[in-house]
Chains A and B, each alone.
Chain A
Amino acid sequence: MLSLSHISLTIGEHRILSDVSCSVDKGEIVGLIGPNGSGKTTLFNVISGFLAPTHGTVHLRGLDITCSSSSRRAQMGIGRVFQNFGIFREMTLEENVLVALEALPKADRTQRGNLRKIAGETLEMVGLQSHAKQKAGSLSGGQMRLLEIARTLMSGKEVFLLDEPTAGVSPKLTQQVADLILQLKKQGKTILVVEHDLPFISHVCDRVIVMDVGRVALTGKPDEVKKSKELRELYFGADPTT
């Protein structure tokens, strides 16, 4: 579904990403973990078109999208949930969903029919329908996250890039976010999730990619990666069992 081939990115004299290659299959949930500054969010920026790689290519469904703009990639099916909440705080919850639906290509919009009704259903799905006419800025962090994920889901995206979806979210809402992600998987969506919460990653992900200093350090199933010495060294500085 999504594949990255030999991605490198240099900004000024700093090499941010070095020869990153990986792929995500349709319907797969892949966790992207690693210490702060390891290049996870930068990799998301490259995939979603906010940064152009110095070398390498990005393919979506076999199509080379390396030179496509971020809005074009979104229209091709890549959706993103931002670490710092990508919601429009001065707009109501209903408008937040409507604007996502209205940004769809015309054929998709026509096919969907009444967009306001879909916006209502989207809010109902995450239990926010009673807040529909409130400004999104009045929501709690967890509610903002749910709104953002639900909005991305209803805008018909096929690939989801979730950047720390549980950051600043209460344990109860974290479970709701996890349920929503698993619901996306059931619908055949492809998901890449950046997260520091390892139990959360183990719970939702099929596979984990560990990044360090801009390169892929390790990849495997969550349980295998959790037990690995390299991961413990990356996160804790040294293997605590030795």
Chain B
Amino acid sequence: MQLLANALIAGSLAALIAGGLALVYGVLGVFNMALGQLALTGGYIAWWLHQVAHLSLFVSVIGGLISGALMTWLTFEVFVRPFYKHHRFLPLVTTIAWSMILDGLILLVFEERPRSILSGGKSMIPIGSALISKEQCIMIILTIASLLLFAWVFHCTPFGRKLRAVVQHESAARSLGINSAVLHRVIFIVSGVFAAAGGIFIGIDQNLSPTLAFSLTIKAYAAIIAGGKGNIWGAIICAYAIALLEQLLVGIHWFGAFYVPAGYQQTVALLFIIGILLLKPSGLFRSVSRTA
């Protein structure tokens, strides 16, 4: 039961980041390799606002989300937009470069020591045989609420229909008068807000550390590749599946003889991608095909 609860917590974090990333891939067809660093930036800004500037937690979280949006907008304008029209793989290189710059900046500004947005102990709530903190409960509920809200926007509103039109046939969407350039920008920024929410999630639940960015990015990519590139719901389901496998790997007393050391948890996402691609190269769910 505790393993499932842990998987739900870790999966919610990964789903936030992977969902945004899958949307960006579906709409623009580009990979943003700096997403982990953008997530951490949101988390660190929220930490700074709460712990250093002594603003309320609510204001600090909003500040973290806004900073995530602004940083992602900057990423789009400087490292993606000038390049992706020439070749969709160019932003892969430019965002890797940006991720390395951000790694250095995060280390310089926020230093290497762990930072937690909330100080002090957390009160735990028993749910069945599992223990979950109040903050974790709130974050799981908020994540699921955000994903449901997003699902409603995506499937039931004019904005969502335009978005799906651009994903499915960009030229046809443009020929109907849909301004795909504006949608590209909006979607990229939305993915950054989701990532920043993930970073804030880490800062509240655990500790922020500059070294986390790479593993966040890898897990998100594992989820979107295994879920069928560009398939948002496939990515979200796979994010939860990877989190569950990670918890099972290190939480089970294998053959009653040994535990797998926690350090190997990170390998699950990579093994998951390789395993899925060997069995089903197009991903578990149908990819969203781009016709333009």
Contact = CB atoms under 8 A, between A and B. Distances in A.
Interface of A: 48-50, 69-72, 74-75, 78-80, 82, 84, 86-91, 95, 98-100, 102-105, 151-152, 155
A79 B165 contact: no
- A-B pairs, top 4 by smallest CB distance, nearest first, are A86-B172, A74-B177, A102-B158, A80-B175
B85 interface: no
A98 B161 contact: yes
Contacts of A151: 176
B286 to A, nearest CB: 9
A99 B165 contact: yes
Contact of A48 (B175, B180, B291): B175
16 contacts: A50-B174, A69-B174, A71-B177, A71-B178, A72-B177, A74-B175, A82-B171, A86-B175, A90-B164, A91-B164, A99-B173, A103-B162, A103-B176, A104-B177, A152-B176, A155-B176
Interface string B214-225: 000000000000
A82 B164 contact: no
A91 B175 contact: no
A89 B169 CA distance: 9
Interface in B159-210: 161-162, 164-165, 168-169, 171-181
B175 A99 contact: no
Interface of B: 158, 161-162, 164-165, 168-169, 171-181, 288, 291
B232 to A, nearest CB: 12
A230 B185 CA distance: 50
A240 to B, nearest CB: 38
Contacts of A87: 169, 172
Given A71-B180, A102-B161, A88 B175 contact: no
Nearest to B291: A84
Given A69-B174, A86-B171, A87-B169, 14 more contacts: A48-B175, A70-B174, A71-B177, A71-B178, A86-B169, A87-B172, A88-B164, A88-B169, A91-B165, A95-B161, A95-B164, A99-B173, A102-B161, A155-B177
Contacts of A71: 174, 177-180
B171 to A, nearest CB: 7
B178 to A, nearest CB: 5
A95 B154 CA distance: 12
Contacts of A100: 176
Contacts of A104: 177
B162 A99 contact: yes
